Amino acid sequence: ESYHSYIWSLCPKTQFHSAKYVHDAASLAAILYNDGYQLSITKLLRQCGVLSTTPACVRMLKLTDNQRVKEHKFKTKATQQKKRHRQILTEQRLNQQEKYNYASGAFD
């Protein structure tokens, strides 16, 4: 996930939003992106005067954070595997081309 995807999920580009709304969405996106849901939302609720969060709420926020991290790791791993696969294919193609061009003593 990226910071921009957080902003666009809070404030879709397909709808008009005021400058203040976009600014607030960007601020909230930065907080969520940097600290995760559990820490961010519990701090935000405390500042709004909600002193007690239910265990179910905390558990849900923790699960959301864990899912976010898990998806990021999976995407990163899949991306690395695809990149490595493309590299291997490129190397194989180059090796095949060189086989036909190589001759013993041809470059002396």
**Could you tell me the pTM of the whole model?**
0.55
pLDDT digits 0-9 by tens, 14-53: 999 999 999 999 999 998 888 888 888 888 888 888 877 7
Contact 101, 31 (CB under 8 A): no
Burial of 60 (0-12, 13-18, 19+ CB in 10 A): middle
pLDDT digits 0-9 by tens, 59-97: 998 998 899 888 877 778 788 888 889 999 998 888 777
